[in-house]
Amino acid sequence: MNILSPSILASDFAHLAEAAEMVAHGGAKWLHIDVMDGHFVPNLSLGPDVVKCLRRFSDLVFDVHLMIDTPEKYIDTFMEAGSDIITFHVESTRVPLDVIERVHAAGKRVGITLKPGTPVESLVPYLDRVDVVLVMTVEPGFGGQSFMEDQLEKARFLKKYKDENGLAYDIEVDGGVNLRNVRACLAAGINVIVAGSSVYKGDAAKNAADFMRVLGE
Ligand code: DX5
Ligand code: ZN
């Protein structure tokens, strides 16, 4: 079953609880929460206190995308705040295995991701121990950018690797996804779709429902 993970980065931050509720209404099961530190990426977004507040208003699976340096310093706080999935960048830490182990020890799911310029092979040492692999189809830092189709090659590699090695990780895509390119993502082996502007521009419940229809085709 394919999954939609709407990115609240594109929502109105004055109404985050409603933003979560609207997409749940449209059939989304996950909520993508982008965390930026102004160092790893040139933007700031939101932190663990926001996750904690939002947790009281939503039963969605909180899919937290950490775009921060040294994530090992912050994962405990994000997990205590109510994150269900912690995804970190392979470029952001010297201790990826520690991060993976600590997230699992806390009973949560862990994801690994990479910037568009980072070769997919850099993920191979971790693929047998993660729950999610996230393919970035924009340079992380901002919503509303154009989809980088060439990055789907990484998804095809990850799907083949997963099948050949009997692994079960979800393959997620993030950045510039819309109703025109989502089928190409699915065809590349992706089963979790992050969508920010294409969901939150206009009627979020309806847009999420439109995505869900394609994901169920
Ligand atoms: C970008 C973020 C994305 C972003 C996606 O750094 O990781 O999750 O919110 O937004 P859209 O779908 O607008 O590209
Ligand atoms: Zn993201």
Query: What is d(CA 124, CA 42) in angstroms, rounded to the nearest whole number?
Result: 27
Q: Compute CA distances 62 → 12, 51, 52, 214, whole Å.
A: 18, 8, 11, 22
Query: What is d(CA 212, CA 217) in angstroms, rounded to the nearest whole number?
Result: 9
94 CB-contact burial (10 Å; exposed 0-12 / middle 13-18 / buried 19+): exposed
Roughly how many angstroms between the first and final C-alpha of the chain, as a whole number? Answer: 10
* pLDDT for residue 196: 98
Q: Compute CA distances 214 → 172, 188, 196, whole Å.
A: 16, 15, 16
Q: Ligand 2 center to residue 67 CA distance, Å?
A: 8
- Mean pLDDT for the chain? 98
Q: What are phi and psi of 2, to 5 degrees?
A: -80, 150
Out of 135, 145, 177, mutate this one to test ligand 1's pocket (max ligand atoms within 8 Å of CB): namely: 145
**Token pair belonging to 185:** 């993502």
Beta pairing partners, 61: 30
Q: Which atom of ligand 1 is nearest to the CA of 140?
A: 6
Q: Is 34 a catalytic residue?
A: yes
Q: What is the pLDDT of residues 28-82, one digit of tens each?
A: 999 999 999 999 999 999 999 999 999 999 999 999 999 999 999 999 999 999 9
Sequential pLDDT tens for the chain (217 residues): 899 999 999 999 999 999 999 999 999 999 999 999 999 999 999 999 999 999 999 999 999 999 999 999 999 999 999 999 999 999 999 999 999 999 999 999 999 999 999 999 999 999 999 999 999 999 999 999 999 999 999 999 999 999 999 999 999 999 999 999 999 999 999 999 999 999 999 999 999 999 999 999 9
Q: Is 210 a catalytic residue?
A: no
Q: Ligand 2 center to residue 65 CA distance, Å?
A: 5
**Annotated catalytic residue, options 12, 34, 59, 203:** 34
* pLDDT for residue 6: 98
**Sheet containing 192-195: which strands, arranged edge to edge?**
3-6, 192-195, 170-174, 132-136, 109-114, 85-89, 61-67, 30-36
- Based on DSSP, count helices (H) and strands (E) in the chain, helices before strands: 8, 8
Residue type present at position 49: D
